[in-house]
Amino acid sequence: MKKNIRFACFLTSTVLVVALSACGPRQQQNASGSEVSAPVFDDEQLTGAYERYIHLKDALVTSDADKAKSEAAMLHAELGKIAEGENAAALAAGIAGTTDLQAQRTAFSKLSNAMTELVKAAEVTDGEVYLAFCPMAMDDTGAYWLANEQEIRNPYFGDKMMRCGEIKERWMNP
């Protein structure tokens, strides 16, 4: 009997610890290894997809085509849960289908535009989202990407031109 009570107490305390830890702010590490708060949206599925998008962006920042491929596959799965995410999901699938870094970066530009539309249609309930722009990406036509921080870490050039770009917009909880 005492054994059952101990087990019930242990199980209850474990559930309580897990539940309380889920209530804190979401933390992610950016490509430089520093922690930033991951934004939360009013749409839980978008929050999950956005987190996957950031992992994909970070893989491109570090020029890791294999990681970008696997992150894009996971992003594709997350976007499949969003009714308006079909276009973005198809673009993520394209990135997941190749390890050609330049092809991934080209597709990422289109994916970023689609993700930006999803983010603009939602409400940021916690944290901040930044829209960055590099005028030299895509053969000097320019390209956008989303980020959790103001620091520019360019996914289109990686370490060749890591700081090329500027923040164009910021969305946060009003």
Give the start-to-end residue ranges of the domains of the chain. 27-172
| Residue type (1 letter), 72 | A
pLDDT (0 to 100) of residue 173: 84
In the block, tokens 């970023």 appear at: 112
SS3 of 30-69: the string is CCCCCEEECCEECCHHHHHHHHHHHHHHHHHHCCCHHHHH
- For residue 142, what pLDDT is reported? 98
Tokens (6 digits) for 21: 């830890």
Phi, psi of 123, deg, nearest 5: -115, 130
Q: What are the φ/ψ torsions at residue 103 (nearest 5 degrees)?
A: -65, -40
CA–CA separation, 137 and 135 (whole Å): 6
pLDDT tens, position by position, for the chain (174 residues)? 555 444 343 333 333 333 333 333 344 444 445 556 799 999 999 999 999 999 999 999 999 999 999 999 999 999 999 999 999 999 999 999 999 999 999 999 999 999 999 999 999 999 999 999 999 999 999 999 999 999 999 999 998 999 999 999 999 987
Give dist(CA 43, CA 122) in Å, integer: 7
Tokens standing for residue 149:
């921080």
Whole-number pLDDT of residue 3:
53
Integer Rg of the chain from CA: 18
